[in-house]
């Protein structure tokens, strides 16, 4: 069992993407835009162990004797987000145990396999229409902004029950929030929260087969102590809109970029398109939907990967690093669309354990449909700029993601 002997390594956003596997299972680091050192887990087995261990919690307040709000609070402070707005980002994500189960149970029905599978025809139609429209353009277009964002917005709005006339506005409010610009991100939150409140009123009067109606229905049927407050409903819908648009849109951009970097793999996939679902899982492993998981805090002294993690210390999961762990994946740095993961050794791009992404099945379906429409049913998609001209941006406490992806057919 070892303990830290050196000052924490201060990581940049790019270094988060390239977290080394040549170090110990846990590295003492300071993540970008934070001040509190954490343990960064980069090895696959250690990441899975931490994510599945109930002795680690996301809410630092649950650790006896702990002070402060932890890394998450530091990131929100750095962003200038007032306390009253934090419920929209922290609900479900920053809770543990029975409280997490209570909240998650109310949204599970909307993401049930049957409901997600039923969305395939609509996603195929929307993707096809967008591709056809963009393919007629003589000039380049931005895959992220002109294709991925509109599609993801349409799909998550369909699940939630957002009326067609408001979907573009919802997408705009999320863009405002994500801008980080003080004169945009708080109004973006206010507008979206007010819209969701009104949507719940309309669904109370006229229920439908959507998540907004589910929340009202399950809230009314739940036992005392399990029901959702109105504010919890609004915050849950806000969180699902937010996470249902940006992360999958970034993933699609990175996945397409990876495929354009590997034309032979694309040719192999065109020859055997039935293997597309396996290819999507390999792309998730190779680029990851999220680079860094939420920080976990030890509720007692825990030995993790041969390192003693003291009570109150944070452990952050390097999801991309774990997915590139050569101790788990052969030739881990190579994209192999036909890779078959060993039993129990699938990627952790969606996390692991109780907090595993609730929208994983939806994200898989969207990726399959999109890659089929963009690269298998139509040839000729190519970068419209030099490879090194593709711009990326670092997100607080995380790695880097594309600002845009200029392409043309």
Q: Is residue 252 a part of any domain in this protein?
A: yes
Q: How many domains does the chain have?
A: 1
Task: Provide the domain limits for residue 214.
Answer: 9-380
Q: Is residue 391 a part of any domain in this protein?
A: no
User: What is the spatial distance between Cα 65 and Cα 311, in angstroms, rounded to a whole number?
Assistant: 9
Q: Is residue 285 a part of any domain in this protein?
A: yes
Does residue 28 carry a pLDDT above 60? Answer: yes
Q: What is the pLDDT of residue 7?
A: 72
CATH number of residue 209's parent domain: 1.10.630.10
Least confidently predicted of 16-20, 252-256, 369-373 = 16-20
Mean of the pLDDT values across residues 200-227? 89
Q: Is residue 312 a part of any domain in this protein?
A: yes
In tens, the pLDDT along 244-294 reads 999 999 999 999 999 999 999 999 999 999 999 999 999 999 998 889 999
Q: What is the pLDDT of residue 182?
A: 77
In tens, the pLDDT along 134-182 reads 988 767 899 999 999 999 999 999 999 999 999 999 999 998 988 878 7
Q: In sequence order, which residues have a C-beta less than 8 Å from that of residue 341 and are 6 or more positions away?
A: 281, 285, 329, 347
- pTM of the entire predicted model: 0.92
| pLDDT band at 310; cut points 50, 70, 90 | very high
| pLDDT band at 395; cut points 50, 70, 90 | confident
In tens, the pLDDT along 283-303 reads 999 998 889 999 999 999 999
Q: Is residue 407 a part of any domain in this protein?
A: no
Q: What is the pLDDT of residue 312?
A: 96
- Which carries the bigger pLDDT value, residue 58 or residue 77? 58
Q: What is the pLDDT of residue 139?
A: 79
Q: What is the pLDDT of residue 19?
A: 63
Mean of the pLDDT values across residues 122-137? 92
Mean of the pLDDT values across residues 16-33? 75
Q: Is residue 195 a part of any domain in this protein?
A: yes
| Structure tokens, 258 | 């990876």
Q: What is the pLDDT of residue 218?
A: 83
Q: Is residue 371 a part of any domain in this protein?
A: yes
Q: Is residue 389 a part of any domain in this protein?
A: no
Does residue 3 carry a pLDDT above 80? Answer: no
Residue 29, beta-bridge partner list = 9, 38
Mean of the pLDDT values across residues 68-97? 87
Top mean pLDDT of 21-30, 51-60, 88-97, 395-404 is at: 51-60
User: How high is the mean pLDDT of the chain?
Assistant: 91
User: What is the spatial distance between Cα 174 and Cα 185, in angstroms, rounded to a whole number?
Assistant: 8
């Amino acid at each position: 069992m070892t303990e830290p002997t050196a000052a924490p390594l201060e990581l940049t956003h790019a270094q988060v993407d390239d977290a080394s596997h040549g170090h110990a299972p846990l590295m003492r680091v300071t993540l970008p835009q934070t001040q509190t050192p954490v343990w960064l887990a980069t090895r696959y087995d250690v990441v899975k162990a931490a994510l599945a261990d109930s002795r680690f919690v996301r809410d630092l307040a649950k650790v006896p004797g702990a002070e402060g709000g932890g890394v998450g609070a530091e990131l929100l402070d750095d962003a200038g987000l007032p306390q009253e707005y934090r419920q929209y980002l922290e609900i479900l994500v920053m809770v543990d145990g029975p409280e997490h189960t209570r909240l998650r149970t109310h949204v599970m029905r909307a993401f049930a396999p049957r409901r997600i599978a039923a969305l395939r025809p609509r996603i195929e139609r929307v993707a096809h229409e967008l591709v056809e429209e963009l393919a007629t353009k003589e000039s380049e277009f931005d895959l992220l902004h002109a294709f991925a964002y509109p599609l993801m917005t349409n799909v998550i709005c369909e699940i939630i029950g957002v009326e067609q006339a408001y979907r573009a506005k919802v997408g705009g409010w999320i863009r405002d929030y994500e801008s980080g610009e003080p004169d945009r991100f708080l109004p973006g939150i206010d507008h979206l929260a007010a819209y969701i409140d009104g949507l719940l009123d309309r669904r109370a009067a006229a229920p439908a087969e959507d998540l907004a109606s589910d929340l009202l229905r399950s809230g009314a049927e739940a036992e005392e102590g399990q029901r959702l407050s109105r504010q919890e409903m609004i915050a849950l819908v806000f969180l699902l809109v937010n996470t249902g648009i940006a992360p999958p849109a970034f993933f699609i951009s990175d996945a397409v970029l990876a495929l354009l970097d590997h034309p032979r793999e694309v040719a192999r996939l065109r020859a055997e398109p039935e293997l597309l679902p396996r290819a999507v899982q390999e792309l998730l492993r190779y680029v990851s939907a999220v680079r860094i998981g939420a920080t976990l805090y030890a509720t007692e002294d825990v030995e993790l990967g041969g390192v003693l993690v003291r009570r109150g210390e944070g452990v952050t999961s390097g999801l991309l690093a774990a997915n590139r762990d050569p101790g788990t994946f052969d030739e881990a740095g190579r994209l192999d669309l036909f890779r078959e993961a060993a039993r129990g050794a699938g990627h952790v791009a969606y996390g692991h354990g109780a907090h595993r992404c609730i929208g994983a099945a939806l994200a898989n379906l969207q990726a399959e449909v999109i890659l089929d429409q963009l690269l298998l049913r139509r040839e000729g998609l190519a970068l419209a700029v030099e490879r090194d001209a593709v711009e990326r941006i670092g997100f607080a406490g995380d790695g880097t993601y594309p600002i845009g992806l200029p392409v043309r057919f």
